[in-house]
Structures are given as C-alpha cells and as structure tokens.
Amino acid sequence: MLIYSHSITNRVRYIFNVMLGDMLELKLEFTSDKDEFTASEEPKLSYTHAKLGDEIHFRSIGLLHEKGVQDQNI
C-alpha cells in the first residue's frame, strides 16, 4: 500500500506501520510526491487535509506532524 502525506515524519511512519504493517501485515511504502501517488496503480491511502483521488483517506489534523508533546482537546 502506498501512503501519501505532504511530510513523512517519524510519527507518520510509526502510526501507519503499527496500524497497517504490524496489525494487518500490509507491505507499506511512503511518499510525499503527489504526482507519484496519483499515478500509482497500487492500493493507496492519503493522510492529508483533502482527498487527492479515489484513495482511502484519513483527514490530517496535524497531530502526526507536530514536534514535541502538545496538549490535545479530545
């Protein structure tokens, strides 16, 4: 599965590797290149503010792109 985010941080890699790699045993690749992502024929998932196409989409609220530890409203 190809995962797109505008910035591939350690947190992005960790969360998706745990959820999809470890738990579901999917082979993952990460990209921050929109053109590569949209052209890919692989199963795709985006972690962005808006969908890029017909992929599975998780709306980003910025949590996985933050630095340090911040209080979060739940």
pLDDT digits over 9-47, tens only?
Answer: 998 999 999 999 999 999 999 999 999 999 999 999 999
Position 53 in a domain: yes
Q: Would you say 5 and 32 are in contact if contact means Cβ atoms under 8 Å apart? A: yes
22 phi and psi angles, rounded to 5 deg? -75, -50
Alpha helices in 1-74 (DSSP H): 10-16, 34-39
Q: Would you say 2 and 47 are in contact if contact means Cβ atoms under 8 Å apart? A: no
Position 35 in a domain: yes
Structural domain count of the chain: 1
Q: Give residue 8's domain range.
A: 2-65
Position 30 in a domain: yes
* Global confidence as pTM: 0.81
Q: CB neighbours of 11 closer than 8 A, spacing ≥ 6? A: 63, 64, 65, 66
